């Protein structure tokens, strides 16, 4: 494949998140959208008309009739991700899958194995890693500027009313999990990416306002392998509107907080040892460009294309995506048992991904 040749992308699942992917693929110089697929004809037709590409109601038919497809973006319900990724890998297509990559670790492992066996790449969408404030924070953590890491915190305070859950897959154990797996998984990924491996978790959750199977509010205490502690607060019961999606890191030598709706605004940048460039942290890296969602997906998919063309490991491949899923399992096990759960545990009461 030539360096100037575009990669052909197809989308499976024309729901809410598909608009972000499709819009980005119309802007990327190195990639283009060539087909869409959805079980609901009205949604498939809508995307077909808007983006001027053919639509299909069956992804097998799409891959057979569109052999030039290079990458398939799986944007369906979380509970379908694993089977679809495994089946699509047999066509030798590279795969981009939205979060979470799967609902069980066995499924995640089988996805990774299938892609390896069929010589195709597996990418898990974690677009918040590409936010400008997050990139700056990650660089600073890696340089050791915080000194001893003490506490890492993420907060997701979003508003999802009954209509969001009504007659949908959200809020079910078999297809999505609750707020921790469905809405907060990006933020949990950031916490692990910034602070490293987790040793143990202790979690509590409630279903405060929504009429669903799973939790709409959860709080987690984490102990990291490096000795730091962490907290996760996640809810879709914030009223009256969405408030924040944030991450903060505190160490012996400094404190950084990134807030905004989607971890996209640098709020606090304070260090004991002042350095050149600190002023930029609250100006140049203050926030992403105006499109909060589109920026991260643009940078993410650009990295996917670069990884494929240059045959390099991506920032978030299947193995990297598996890490936060393993942590989610430990969190849910702690909620069910009421006990602290150490990673590498054997599930006893886990319900996520079970029908």
* 284: pLDDT strictly greater than 90: no
Shared domain for 86 and 169, answered yes or no, is: no
Residue 348 within a domain: no
Residues linked to residue 257 through DSSP beta bridges, in sequence order: 248, 268
Mean pLDDT of 194-198: 97
Cα–Cα distance measured from residue 252 to residue 254, given in angstroms and rounded to the nearest whole number: 6
**pTM of the entire predicted model:** 0.94
Shared domain for 113 and 142, answered yes or no, is: no
Q: Which of 75, 236, 100, 99 is nearest to 163 (CA)?
A: 236
pLDDT at 355: 72
Shared domain for 265 and 145, answered yes or no, is: yes
Mean pLDDT of 273-300: 80
The domain total for the chain is: 2
pLDDT-derived band at 186, boundaries 50, 70, 90: very high
Domain that holds residue 332: 128-288+323-342
Residue 81 within a domain: yes
Residue 1 within a domain: no
Residue 37 within a domain: yes
pLDDT-derived band at 281, boundaries 50, 70, 90: confident
Cα–Cα distance measured from residue 25 to residue 213, given in angstroms and rounded to the nearest whole number: 35
Supply the CATH number for residue 58's domain: 3.40.50.720
Supply the CATH number for residue 242's domain: 3.30.360.10
Query: Is the Cα torsion angle 236, 239, 242, 247 positive or negative in sign?
Result: negative
Shared domain for 274 and 135, answered yes or no, is: yes
Question: Over the chain, what is the mean pLDDT?
Answer: 94
Cα–Cα distance measured from residue 145 to residue 143, given in angstroms and rounded to the nearest whole number: 6
Mean pLDDT of 146-165: 97
């Amino acid at each position: 494949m030539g360096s100037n040749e575009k990669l052909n992308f197809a989308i499976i699942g024309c729901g809410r998140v598909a608009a972000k992917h499709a819009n980005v693929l119309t802007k990327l110089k190195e990639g283009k959208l060539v087909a869409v697929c959805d079980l609901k004809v009205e949604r498939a037709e809508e995307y077909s008309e808007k983006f001027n590409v053919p639509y299909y109601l069956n992804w097998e038919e799409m891959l057979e009739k569109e052999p030039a497809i290079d990458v398939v973006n799986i944007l369906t319900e979380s509970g379908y991700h694993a089977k679809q990724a495994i089946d699509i890998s047999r066509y030798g297509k590279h795969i981009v899958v939205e979060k979470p990559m799967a609902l069980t670790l066995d499924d995640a492992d089988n996805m990774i194995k299938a892609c390896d066996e069929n010589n195709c790449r597996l990418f898990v969408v974690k677009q918040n890693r590409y936010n400008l404030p997050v990139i700056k924070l990650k660089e600073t953590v890696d340089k050791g500027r915080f000194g001893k890491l003490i506490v890492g915190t993420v907060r997701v305070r979003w508003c999802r009313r009954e209509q969001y859950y009504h007659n949908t897959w959200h809020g079910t154990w078999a297809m999505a999990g609750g707020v921790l797996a469905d809405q907060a998984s990006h933020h949990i990924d950031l916490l692990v990416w910034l602070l490293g491996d987790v040793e143990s978790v202790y979690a509590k959750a409630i279903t405060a306002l929504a009429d669903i199977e799973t939790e709409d509010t959860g709080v987690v205490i984490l102990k990291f392998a490096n000795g730091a502690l962490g907290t996760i607060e996640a809810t879709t019961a914030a009223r009256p509107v969405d408030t924040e999606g944030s991450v903060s890191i505190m160490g012996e030598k400094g404190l950084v907080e990134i807030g905004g709706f989607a971890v996209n605004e640098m709020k606090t940048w304070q260090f004991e040892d002042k350095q050149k460039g600190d002023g930029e942290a609250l100006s140049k890296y203050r926030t992403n460009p105006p499109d909060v969602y589109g920026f991260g997906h643009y940078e993410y998919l650009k990295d996917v294309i670069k990884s494929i063309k240059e045959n390099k490991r991506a920032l978030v491949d299947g193995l990297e995506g598996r890490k936060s899923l393993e942590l989610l399992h430990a969190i849910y096990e702690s909620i069910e048992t009421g006990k602290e759960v150490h990673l590498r545990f054997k599930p006893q009461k886990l319900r996520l991904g079970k029908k």
